[in-house]
Amino acid sequence: MRKFVFYALSVLCIPFFLIGLCSFMLPVLLARGKVSGTTYEPFNSRLQWDLLGLRKDTAARALARGLPATNIVTRLVVFRLLTLICRISGYISPPLNFPAEDEKELSSMVAMRTEFFDRTMSGSIEDGDQVVILGAGWDTRAYGLLKDRDVETFEVDTQATQQVKLNALEKTGIEHSHVRFVACDFNQESWLDKLRSHGFDPDTKTFVLWEGVTMYLTEDAVGTTLDAVSSLPAGSRIAFDFLPAGWWTDSKLGHRAAQSITVTYGENFTFFLQDEEGAETALEALLNKHKLIAEERVIQHLKEDESVCFYGMVLASCVGESSTGD
């Protein structure tokens, strides 16, 4: 009954959702090719989870007021309205839930990766460490999860995207003096060199968060980043996600999913893990090539065919005496 009420109310509210969609997409389209639009994908989910009380992220709720696409119309007729529908019906649909109900559903990808990166970051950093968030986008962990931790935090992203975030932080009054912002084009520049010029200490143990980025880079840029991480002190770690090639490039559903990102945001998937011999094997080979050790890995397989994987995440550490492994 609760499920019926949820979907019945959702159907009745379709006109409002369409207004919200237009309100969201207009700023995205106006900034297309300059500011990353895909960074809204995980941000929107985390904002909705906060409103539903499933994952606390007050910084996301505050930042939304300063970002162009999550303007007041979008927030009211999409996020607030969905929250109201969930409360009236007493039901939360699987795509809106956190943690993920079914890890074998494509709709669970953002929930799975959010839980994985929250946990691995919290469990990896110690006082005195450095934290680098590569392709930070609208990530708010620096203003929540890391806010009261004794760590040096760096956010790295393209200049245009980073400037939009800085404007939003200023507009909404979110304290960000503890974060160092570094502008960098990952396909053209060395993010490690850029960090050094902003006070980064290459001799200090570092945790690197690289969420939702590899798929938009060239293979060379991915390899260069992993090499840079492996040059950091023993015990340094990187947590990142990737797309296995098979499902995304060979299946109709995967190809359509990739195309939908391109059509919506104008951003293309360019890097896939070549997994002819299996994603686990390919991932191990990639890490070995760049002198990293997998500490934890999560591979999402299709419910219809468990031999096919569509998404993966890994926590890897630098080779060294103080590194830990399985």
Query: pLDDT by residue (tens digit) across 94-127?
Result: 999 999 988 778 889 999 999 999 999 999 999 9
pLDDT for the residue 187? 83
pLDDT for the residue 101? 85
pLDDT for the residue 65? 98
Q: How many CA atoms lie within 13 A of 255 on its CB side?
A: 4
pLDDT for the residue 320? 54
DSSP state of 56: -
Cα separation of the two ends of the chain: 46
Residues 116 and 62 sit within 8 Å (Cβ to Cβ): no
- List the chain domain ranges: 2-96, 106-318
3-state helix, strand, coil in the chain (%, to 5): 50, 15, 35
Distance between CA atoms of residues 104 and 57, nearest Å: 25
CA-to-CA separations, 325 to 64, 117, 281, in angstroms, rounded: 38, 18, 17
Q: Which residues of 206-227 are buried (b: 16+ CB within 10 A; e: fewer)?
A: bbbbbbbbbbbbeeebbebbbe
The model carries a pTM of 0.94
Would you state the CATH architecture of domain 106-318? Answer: 3-Layer(aba) Sandwich (3.40)
pLDDT for the residue 325? 39
pLDDT for the residue 120? 97
- Which ranges of the chain have pLDDT less than 50? 321-326
- Who contacts 26 (Cβ-Cβ below 8 Å, separation ≥6)? none
Token digits of residue 134: 């590569």
Q: Helices 2-12 and 81-89 sit at what angle, rounded to 10 degrees? A: 150
Question: Which spans in the chain are helix H?
Answer: 2-12, 14-30, 40-52, 58-64, 72-74, 81-89, 109-124, 159-172, 191-196, 219-230, 245, 252-265, 279-289
Strand-strand pairing, 237-242 and 309-318: antiparallel
